[in-house]
Chains A and B, each alone.
Chain A
Amino acid sequence: MEQYVVEMRGITKRFPGIIANDQVTLQLKKGEIHALLGENGAGKSTLMSVLFGFYQPEEGEIYVRGEKVEIKSPNVAHELGIGMVHQHFQLIDTFTVVENIILGDEPGGALVDYAKARQEVIDLSQQYGLNVNPDAKIEDISVGMQQRVEILKVLYRKADIIILDEPTAVLTPQEIDELIGIMKNFAAEGKSVILITHKLKEIMAVADRVSVLRQGKYIGTVDVASSSEEQLAEMMVGRKVSFAVEKGPANPGEDVLVIKDLWVKDQRGIDALEGLNLHLRRGEILGIAGVDGNGQQELVEAITGLRKVESGQILLSGEDIVSHPIRSRMEGGIAYIPEDRQRRGLVMDFRLDENLALKTYNKEPLSHGFLLDHEAIKEKAKEIIGLFDVRSSEGTETIVRNMSGGNQQKAIIGREVDLDPLVMIASQPTRGLDVGAIEYIHKRLIELRDDQKAVLLVSFELDEIMSVSDRINVIYHGRITGDVKPEETTTQELGLMMSGSKEGPLV
């Protein structure tokens, strides 16, 4: 049994209403990179939370280096040499890099020895080639550097079993390559790595073995060398998956949305869009490719009216709408699937019918004058629910909080499509959804396009951009740095444009 550094046997973890892990097994060898593959909601994070001591399983046993252990808290995990790089960084914005790294394991006694701490961080970052500025505050450094800080936190605690939870989601293709190098270094040093991901390409590129979970159940473990992307995809989803999105050729018409020299500031008052130009035509899907934080959010909010524009023009069918309020832009034909459906797109404690009325409650037939027509609202909701296959336990009466993510997103899409818009802004419309829901949403977006609507698709998933868009604009530092066709470019080329090392042609 000595061959496994970590062995989880028959792990079962239940939450009210669901079994997140059902008899799951995971065997990690020393010095290997072991991928944990599964769709959103398959139970990967739960399993790792069990290993990291966040959750206690109802059933099952965990062996670390051959000894049976009970991991009752992250402290126990630390002592066992298990460290985790969290997907949502566990970093304190107002603290410095050093403070974040040492938190919980501070050198010195009751008084923190900051000089020693700083030196240790510098040594460690040089040893592993993880370049960080020890004195910078987290809020001032890039996402890539924040991730290096997270990795340093783990190394500082001398972990030799390292869990990386969806580490590439926020990185450019080039940064991903760097990270892969770092992981291979760890393995070469004899550290063992668990890589949680749903991206098949990464697994093929870096992992030695892969274990697959589906709907909380353990499907199997295979050697990456003797397997293929198709085989892994089938294990993950449970059926044959075609990655190609079915769509006919685009038939674009005239420009409906034209943006000229747009300047917008972010929350902190720093320029987020610096003279951005783009144009969007009827009957096409324009994909905005870029690394998170290059102005996508600000672009979307400027178009929809949620954020103030400093200067520039946004022309909707030729009319400048920069100073128009949110509602009149909606009425002018802009629909919007927001990136954060729970924060922006839905009132989670409202009923489903009330949510479906969110943009039309003040118009006939849902209200007459200042009086709501609850019957009409219910009728309208039933119509959208039927057309868009929104599933919920209590129909129009369901509190939206109790619905699944996929159905919440369907509800939003149904509501927005029902507005019969000119322009659909879809900001990360498939984030956190499973393959079935993703396929559904892609299909709906293409239908809109075929219906001669204009679609602006913002996504951090390059694969999505490549397969759904008719045309791609790359956004970097608040400007469009390339205007290309998906069939005429490669992921690598887009990656270079996304990191600013190359500028593409501009149409």
Chain B
Amino acid sequence: MNLISSIVTLSLIYATPIIVTALGGIYSERSGVVNIALEGIMMVGAFVAAAFTPLNEAALGAWTPWIAILLGSLAGGLFSLIHAFASVDLRSNQVISGTALNMLAAGFTIYMCQIIFNMQRTQTFNRGFVKSNVPVFSQIPIIGDLFFKRMYYTFYLAIALVLITAFILKRTRFGLRLKACGEHPSAVDSVGISVRKMRYIGVLISGLLAGLSGGIMVLTQATQFTAGSIHGVGFISLAALIFGRWNAFGVLGAGIFFGFSQIFSIFSRDIPFLSKVPTEIFSALPYILTILAMLLFSRKSVGPKAAGEPYDVSKR
């Protein structure tokens, strides 16, 4: 039971950034912009959060990580505007623009570490997020053990974001218009809604969420930011987005699945018949599973029809 509950808890902790980033991906892709820069945006968010924390934790105390992820989120949003500008206004190839931003983020974050901390990483921090038991809920038998003990509050934040996103897409005017932009932009244009504005908002929200997620990731899973801090989680989120069929709850499920596959290597050592398998195999597991999952769903998963295509107003 102990092993199971710690596997579940840790899976959810590792799932949190995947879920949040993939939610961001929903907004961007539903508006019609493919965002493979999620990885880079996470890096920016993680760097900002991780750089802010050691410099301010003495003054701000327990509030530090919350302010840090907020700043990370803002930085991510700002960074994503480059992608919006390139793909919406300049009609760049969205995959190429995203690739450029991923490289830019990798270079820029470490460059700034060198400038600020004089090394290729941020200074270690003490006040990351702390695991806690949720009052009342943690007393519930079994469920309390699985979901409410030794958990980061950021996980519940992710759940809240899932619910909010599902509600926005299903019930609101904004959601209806956003989805329409990703399916048939000229139809949206013809009823007098600005596709440009909707896509900017979509990309911006994806940047805010991916930045937030990067902050959460570094403040729950590390003690400093390095070049390897995000190690492909942004790309895994992209896979979770596809796996979850561009839906909030789908993304939640896929995120937990990939979170589990990430922590599998840690627990494999405690499971006798797996302990002999080299760790590299487990490290590669999430990526292998992603490919398998994509193959499994390849026929069924269809994303927003117009995603990836610049909308050319002059060609309508």
Chain A contact residues, CB within 8 Å of chain B: 49, 52, 54, 73-75, 77-78, 84, 86, 90-95, 99-100, 103-106, 108-112, 153
Do residues B180 and A112 form an inter-chain contact, with CB atoms below 8 A?
no
Within 8 Å by CB of B171, from A84, A104, A112, lies A112
Report the interface size class on chain B: 20 to 34
* Segment at the A interface, from B45-53, B70-78, B181-189: B181-189
Check B305–A90 contact: CB distance below 8 A: no
Asked if B274 CB lies within 8 Å of chain A CBs, one says no
Does B173 contact A92, Cβ atoms closer than 8 Å?
A: no
Contact B187 A90 (CB under 8 A): yes
Tell yes or no: B300 within 8 A of A by CB: no
Q: Which residues of A contact B187 (CB under 8 A)?
A: 90-92, 100, 103
Chain B residue numbers with a CB within 8 Å of A86 are 190
Q: Is B176 located at the chain interface by the 8 A CB criterion?
A: yes
0/1 string, B143-177, CB within 8 A of A gives 1: 00000000000000000000000000001111011
Across the interface, do B173 and A74 meet the contact criterion of CB distance under 8 Å?
no
Say yes or no for B316: interface residue by CB 8 A criterion: yes
Known: A103-B191, A105-B191. 20 other contacts (CB 8 A): A54-B190, A54-B316, A74-B189, A74-B191, A84-B190, A86-B190, A90-B186, A91-B184, A92-B187, A94-B179, A94-B183, A103-B176, A103-B188, A103-B193, A104-B177, A104-B193, A109-B173, A110-B172, A112-B173, A153-B191
Q: How far is the CA of A105 from the CA of B172 in the complex (A)?
A: 13
Chain B interface residues toward A at CB < 8 A: 171-174, 176-177, 179-180, 183-184, 186-193, 305, 316
Across the interface, which residues of A come within 8 angstroms of B189, CB to CB? 54, 74
A431 to B176, CA, bound (A): 35
> How far, in whole Å, are A73 and B196 apart by their CA atoms in the complex?
14
Are A103 and B174 in touch, CB under 8 angstroms?
no
- A108→B191 contact, CB < 8 A: no
Q: Does A104 contact B192, Cβ atoms closer than 8 Å?
A: yes
Residues of B within 8 A of A91 (CB): 184, 187
Q: Is the CB of B174 within 8 A of A110?
A: yes
* Complex contacts, B188 vs chain A, CB 8 Å: 103-104
Chain A residues with CB below 8 A from B179, complex form: 92, 94-95
Query: Min CB distance, A111 to chain B, in Å?
Result: 6
Cross-chain contact A95 with B180 (CB below 8 angstroms) = yes
The reply to whether A110 and B183 contact each other, CB–CB distance below 8 Å, is no
- For B191, the chain A residues whose CB sits under 8 A away are 74, 78, 90, 103-105, 153
Q: Is B171 a contact of A111 with CB atoms below 8 Å?
A: yes
Give the residue name and chain of the B residue nearest to A75 (CB). B192
Question: Are B176 and A99 within 8 A (Cβ)?
Answer: yes
Provide the residues of chain B in CB contact with A93, threshold 8 Å: 183-184, 305
Question: From A84, which residue of chain B is reached at the shortest CB distance?
Answer: B190
User: Chain B's nearest CB lies how many Å from the CB of A343?
Assistant: 15
A63 CB to nearest chain B CB (Å): 21
**Interchain residue pairs with CB less than 8 A apart (13):** A49-B316, A52-B190, A74-B190, A74-B191, A74-B192, A90-B190, A91-B187, A93-B305, A94-B179, A95-B180, A99-B176, A100-B187, A106-B173
